[in-house]
Amino acid sequence: MKNRSIARVAAVGLTLMFTMGCAALAADRPAFQARMLEAFDAAEARQGVAIDARYFYAASNFAITKHDRRTGEQVGEWRGRSAGDPLIHLDSLVAHEGKLYASHSNYPEWPMTSSVEIWNAETMEHIETHSFGIYRGSFTWLDRHDGSWWGAFANYDKVQAGQAAAYGNTDSTQVVKMNDEFAVIESWILPREILDRFRPMSNSGGSWGPDGFLYLTGHDHGEAYVMRLPHAGSVLEWVATVQVPVMEGQGIAWDRSGNAPHLWAIVKKDRKVLKIEMPSIKPL
């Protein structure tokens, strides 16, 4: 109970640190505010988080730790980065049917390559891989929704060290729908206003909410952009923005375990995992 009490105190402290410094995006899109419930220390909370009925999982570039979702106590881990290890930049995680799925890329190397990496969530053993090779960009998030896999291939305006051109250009970022073999069957781009908010980085996280909306995050801002598929064309429809206390973008995950439908996120600089109460979205 001590760890849980500390987590609640930390949550209160972090909430008090939150300021309304987020720039207005567009007057015709409703804006909502989220409320942080708990915060847990997790040293590997650098890239993303996954959640299931009993545990949360925090990911850094080349490690994943497994934690009791009630207390935050670490109960398992996987660590890469041994000599010659090909896994160098994990991004978002999602827990699905006893497995952990991670988006992975060779960021910031060129040319961009990406893969899906899979672990047994009980043993934390790496068990499967699917390579995209050189494809649409850096694969930054993965989610399961409505019988399909979903994700994003990010591109960046940032010029990486040792490179002479932008790392793919943010405008080329794509959200994709995939079949069970991770073959892309549809893809969409993002509205210019959201891309401008991402620059010079890109779309870092995504998770489908229980309300049927897709929630996207960037690399830096404490904002989640509520999206839906368009009735026509190739640009996702921007429904609303949720301002999320303290969160700095990165990977997110909705809790689909049968517990309350909370959003889980991270604070990269503080290495914390957040449990967040999200507002009910009623778009205009």
* Span 82-95, average pLDDT: 88
Instruction: Using the predicted structure, report yes or no on whether residue 277 has a pLDDT greater than 90.
Output: yes
Instruction: Using the predicted structure, report yes or no on whether residue 17 has a pLDDT greater than 50.
Output: no
According to the model, what pLDDT value does residue 7 have? Answer: 52
According to the model, what pLDDT value does residue 57 have? Answer: 98
Instruction: Using the predicted structure, report yes or no on whether residue 108 has a pLDDT greater than 50.
Output: yes
Instruction: Using the predicted structure, report yes or no on whether residue 93 has a pLDDT greater than 50.
Output: yes
* Span 240-265, average pLDDT: 89
* Cα distances (Å, whole numbers) of residue 266 to 45, 115, 201: 6, 22, 17
Instruction: Using the predicted structure, report yes or no on whether residue 14 has a pLDDT greater than 50.
Output: no
* Span 87-100, average pLDDT: 96
For residue 240, with 0-12 CB atoms within 10 Å meaning exposed, 13-18 middle and 19 or more buried, which class applies?
A: buried
Tell me how far the alpha carbon of residue 3 is from its chain's centroid.
25
According to the model, what pLDDT value does residue 283 have? Answer: 60
Rg (CA), the chain: 18
Instruction: Using the predicted structure, report yes or no on whether residue 191 has a pLDDT greater than 70.
Output: yes
Percentage of the chain lying above the pLDDT 90 cut: 81
Q: Do 65 and 102 form a contact (C-beta atoms < 8 A)?
A: no
* Span 178-191, average pLDDT: 98
User: What is the average pLDDT value for the chain, to the nearest integer?
Assistant: 90
According to the model, what pLDDT value does residue 15 have? Answer: 41
The CA distance from 259 to 268, in Å, is: 25
Q: Which residue has the higher pLDDT, 147 or 259?
A: 147
* Span 152-169, average pLDDT: 94
According to the model, what pLDDT value does residue 87 have? Answer: 94
Place of tokens 């999206």: 227
According to the model, what pLDDT value does residue 284 have? Answer: 57
According to the model, what pLDDT value does residue 138 have? Answer: 97
Place of tokens 């994990």: 90
Specify which residues 253 forms β-bridges with.
264
Q: Which residue has the higher pLDDT, 25 or 57?
A: 57
Instruction: Using the predicted structure, report yes or no on whether residue 20 has a pLDDT greater than 90.
Output: no
